Structure 1
Amino acid sequence: MKFLLETWSAGARAGLLMFGELQLETPCLLMVTKKGLPAHITHDLLENVLPDAGALQISPIHFLESPPPSIVASVGGVHKLLSLQRRVVVGIARDSFGQEADGLNGTKFGAAFETSSGRRVVGPKKYMEAINALRPDLWATLPDEVPAWATTKRHRMSVDRTLRWLDDCLTLNAVQDNSVLGVVVGGSNVEERKRSAEATARRNVSGFSLGGFGLGEIPQERAALLKSTIAYLPEEKVRHVSGLGMPEEVLEGVAAGIDLFDSTYPHSLTMKGFAMTFPLWMEQQNGYHPLSEEEHAADMDLTKIDLHSAVHRCDVNPIVKGCKCYSCRKHTRAYIHHLLNVHEMLAQTLLDIHNYHHYFSFFRAIRTSIAMNKFQAFREWFMSRRRYIAGADAISSKQSDDLLVAKNVINHQIST
């Protein structure tokens, strides 16, 4: 892997991440998958309909059971197993439930994950069995993530464990032609994040994954946490973050100098029957410009539309006028509304196509604004135009529910 920085703008940076013949322009979105494949997007759609989907994020934990690492290894790795030879595959373990003791498979402590067969405790040894079998292009080491409301003592312990697991993962790495992201933790504790960043930067890693975000930190404090972490990381190495998936959060991460994001936001909207319609400041022949009158009339200042709603029953307009995605070029709001009401899976396919296309276009607009040294203007313009529809945001409510579940599960471990 090679990472080349090309330009900066107001703290944001644009670059090129190269994996042999495959290249990713950064900042970019990693398409989140389940067991390596998007839920409703087939290979031909990835190739022909979503060309910006150059990188997929997988969870190595998903490959500990079905199929097990031995099967994946015998096939030749995740690229051959899933026919993803022309896609960058990034292995990142997400949604852990803290740490637990495990006396069954030779591991003192490991991160607890919910799997299809119940909770499973995974230590560095078991985790690296999956990594060595999958052979991803890029992968992050095993973290001990704790919620923001944990005590200082627990954050300190999290940093120590994550560093110890980082060393174990590097030792157990049997595939030397892939690249490693060292995980930086510390929760809402600025000093612990600084200590974690400095110690991780001294290891032999190709880049960094900022863990612990999206676990209950106060949004007003997030900028300071990002700054206190990134300030101690070498700028020539790639940076990834999980937990920042909303457009406002992405812009905040880009402004801090993050290069890679993974987000369930597009697919979560799809599963609720929503389509993205928020404005995009796209590249034009004569440079950037605000929304046109036609886009204004199409209500593109709203964040999303609910295609379950009966108001779309006879609406023969595309989801977003002027959108070049397959769904908007070929189908109407009324058709997708009908598919949703008769519970036809094609509805989720068409919505996923649009939502991912829209979000990839959002990242393309970010990259172009950086290249034109107008990122700050783009960010201010975007924030001034974006409005929330009345009521709770579809993803915010989901994140709140997830955080409540995580808090109930982890709370008894915080003082350990």
Structure 2
Amino acid sequence: MSIPPSNAPEMLTFNLLFKTLPLTPRAGTLAHHSGATIQTPHYLGITSRGAIPHISQDNFRKHTAIHGVYVALEDFIEKLPQQTPPLYHLSAPAHESSLRNFIALPKETLLVLGPRRAPPVPCPAANTNSAISILTSVGFRQISSQDYAAAAERLRPDIVVGMADIPFGQEVIGVKRKDKMSDRTELWMRDIISKKSGLDKTVKKEDAMPSYDIFAPILPVSRELQSWYLEHLVDDMVDEISGLAIYDAQLLDELPSELQHIPRLSFDFPTSPQKLLYQISLGMDLFTIPFIAEATDAGIALDFSFPPPSVSDTPFEKTSLGVDMWLATHSASLAPLSINCSCYACTKHHRAYIRHLLSAKEMLGWVLIQLHNHAIMDAFFAGIRDSIASNTFEDDCKAFEAFYEVDLPEKTGQGPRVRGYQFKSTGPGEGKKNPPAYRMLDDPKESLSEALTPDENADASDLERIGFAEAEDKGR
């Protein structure tokens, strides 16, 4: 069944393969006029400063099949408003996206822009009536709704996720605060819609540059507490939005019927494939999945498929969802990361080599694991779409839960060297993420372990062998 979007049909189209009931899995095709096409259910690659972590843009083109990416505006506007960020200095030719050109993204890849990273780092300062708090490479700042709308007009991605007033990191949210969330989000949606609607008034319609589609946020509160906002979405904005950004998958049951036919992008981050399957069973279409990069940073190669391999009825131990490449058992293994995987890492390299790269702190190790993990997710979603089309999704989900463990393997080794901007803040008094590169010159006998926090002492021996021991030898 073909269902056009509510707004201009030449921009974004969403075609469901068959009619579905609420709270049931659905498959379809999401196509943008730029040439980007995604078969749903599927996922968007989460970027850091416009690139998938560990994957350069040339490897993105050659060795991945990622059809869409999510880009956070807070990655690029560290100097705003005191200075114009470099992102805004790049001018794009007519009918092109300056953001796409800035991050060297292929034209056939769907480009989705949001205000915050996924998942966002909680900010100490609260949102205001006109702005949200963000984390940039130079610290916490704020961006106003008007500035965000202006950024969407200037950068012209394929899809813009509306700005939502969500107090990330706050465990308990009062009723009055929830009412304020609804009021602010409704106002901010009007800002971005009015900014987009004003674009075509300055030029003739036939000469207008391609605009962007808007995904309206659905807040993680009950329908009753955001009923006023939902009423305005249906009554005043439904013709201007092309999709929904869902922050709580449980709310799919409470969506107004007027919003049921448009695509749904999940920001209710699943922590395992089983929780991902649960959201799909409710009718979610697109996903942002942080556990892909988290597994890569931990040196874990994902290893699961959907549907799972067939097994006999005899009891057996559940299979792990991934392979911990830090384990010494892989040091002489010539097997690929996954037997049935045909990605670049599995066809060109073996486990022993990749474990050696991790042990030597070579970034290529994490690059190969990241390529592999995205290939596993591509095959996983392809199996899901086939299962939905063949009407076996429910049985396949039960088989998956019976075959695989519930959680991903726990991290046992070290991840890549982290930077403060990439690491979650834990509050006042937290220790430094990385050990110091040099000792104090006036105290050469100071023990390195005394300068490190307890969590960093594990790295002290390596650093002493590499740099500090050499300095002591020269001093003697």
TM interval, short-chain normalised? 0.7 to 0.9
Does structure 1 residue 57 correspond to structure 2 residue 93? no
Alignment of 1:129-208 (within 5 A): 129-146=150-167, 147=170, 149-173=172-196, 174=199, 177-185=211-219, 187-202=220-235, 203=237, 204-208=240-244
What corresponds to 1:46 in structure 2? 60
What corresponds to 1:237 in structure 2? 262
What corresponds to 1:397 in structure 2? none
2: CA distance between counterparts of 1:362 and 1:8? Answer: 23
The CA deviation at 1:7 is 2.6
2: CA distance between counterparts of 1:291 and 1:193? Answer: 45
Change beyond 3 A, Cα 1:101–1:280: closer
Change beyond 3 A, Cα 1:207–1:23: same
Q: After the TM superposition, which of the residue ranges 33-42 and 334-343 deviates more from structure 2?
A: 33-42
Larger radius of gyration: 2
The answer to whether the 8 Å contact 1:3/1:18 transfers is yes
1: CA distance between counterparts of 2:222 and 2:306? Answer: 35
The CA deviation at 1:108 is 5.1
Aligned partner (choices 242, 254, 274) of residue 280 of structure 2: 254
The answer to whether the 8 Å contact 1:98/1:144 transfers is no
The answer to whether the 8 Å contact 2:217/2:244 transfers is yes
Unaligned runs of 5+ in 2: 1-11, 80-84, 200-208, 413-422, 431-476
The CA deviation at 1:34 is 1.1
What corresponds to 1:324 in structure 2? 342
SS at 1:36's partner residue? Answer: coil
SS at 2:194's partner residue? Answer: helix
1: CA distance between counterparts of 2:278 and 2:258? Answer: 18
TM-score by length of 1: 0.81
Give the aligned residue type for 1:356.
Answer: H
Post-superposition Cα deviations, 1:371-396, rounded to whole Å, max 9, x if no partner, equal: 111221122222222214697589xx
TM-score by length of 2: 0.71
Does structure 1 residue 17 correspond to structure 2 residue 30? yes
Aligned partner (choices 304, 329, 335) of residue 278 of structure 1: 304
2: CA distance between counterparts of 1:129 and 1:49? Answer: 35
Change beyond 3 A, Cα 1:184–1:128: same
The answer to whether the 8 Å contact 1:111/1:122 transfers is yes
Give the aligned residue type for 2:245.
Answer: S
Give the aligned residue type for 2:88.
Answer: S
2: CA distance between counterparts of 1:300 and 1:243? Answer: 26
What corresponds to 2:434 in structure 1? none
Does structure 1 residue 347 correspond to structure 2 residue 331? no
2: CA distance between counterparts of 1:176 and 1:100? Answer: 36
The CA deviation at 1:291 is 3.5
The answer to whether the 8 Å contact 2:274/2:406 transfers is no
Give the aligned residue type for 2:28.
Answer: G
Aligned residues: 374
Post-superposition Cα deviations, 1:155-200, rounded to whole Å, max 9, x if no partner, equal: 1110111111110111123476210111111x34342255544432
Change beyond 3 A, Cα 1:178–1:317: same
Alignment of 1:78-97 (within 5 A): 78-84=99-105, 85-94=107-116, 95=120, 97=122
2: CA distance between counterparts of 1:88 and 1:81? Answer: 15
SS at 1:41's partner residue? Answer: coil
Change beyond 3 A, Cα 1:96–1:350: closer
SS at 1:7's partner residue? Answer: coil
What corresponds to 1:357 in structure 2? 375
Unaligned runs of 5+ in 1: 214-221, 283-289, 395-400, 409-416
The answer to whether the 8 Å contact 1:96/1:111 transfers is no
The answer to whether the 8 Å contact 1:64/1:130 transfers is no
The answer to whether the 8 Å contact 1:98/1:111 transfers is no
The answer to whether the 8 Å contact 2:320/2:408 transfers is no
What corresponds to 2:49 in structure 1? 35
The answer to whether the 8 Å contact 2:37/2:108 transfers is no
Give the aligned residue type for 1:277.
Answer: D
Does structure 1 residue 379 correspond to structure 2 residue 397? yes
Change beyond 3 A, Cα 1:72–1:124: farther
More strand by share: 1
What corresponds to 2:131 in structure 1? 110
Change beyond 3 A, Cα 1:362–1:353: same
CA RMSD of aligned residues (A): 3.1
The CA deviation at 1:292 is 6.7
The answer to whether the 8 Å contact 1:101/1:110 transfers is no
Post-superposition Cα deviations, 1:77-123, rounded to whole Å, max 9, x if no partner, equal: 11222222231110122326479679xxxx85311011111111111
Post-superposition Cα deviations, 1:267-315, rounded to whole Å, max 9, x if no partner, equal: 1111111111134327xxxxxxx3479xx99x98211121111111111
Change beyond 3 A, Cα 1:194–1:260: farther
The answer to whether the 8 Å contact 2:37/2:109 transfers is no
Post-superposition Cα deviations, 1:185-229, rounded to whole Å, max 9, x if no partner, equal: 1x3434225554443233121111113x4xxxxxxxx63x3322x
Change beyond 3 A, Cα 1:251–1:405: farther
Change beyond 3 A, Cα 1:96–1:166: farther
2: CA distance between counterparts of 1:99 and 1:196? Answer: 26
The CA deviation at 1:330 is 1.4
2: CA distance between counterparts of 1:150 and 1:402? Answer: 21
1: CA distance between counterparts of 2:182 and 2:123? Answer: 12
SS at 1:86's partner residue? Answer: coil
Give the aligned residue type for 1:125.
Answer: Q
What corresponds to 2:17 in structure 1? 6
Post-superposition Cα deviations, 1:218-257, rounded to whole Å, max 9, x if no partner, equal: xxxx63x3322x3555222111111323322221221121
1: CA distance between counterparts of 2:401 and 2:425? Answer: 25
The answer to whether the 8 Å contact 2:323/2:409 transfers is no
Change beyond 3 A, Cα 1:115–1:390: closer
Does structure 1 residue 210 correspond to structure 2 residue 210? no
1: CA distance between counterparts of 2:234 and 2:159? Answer: 17
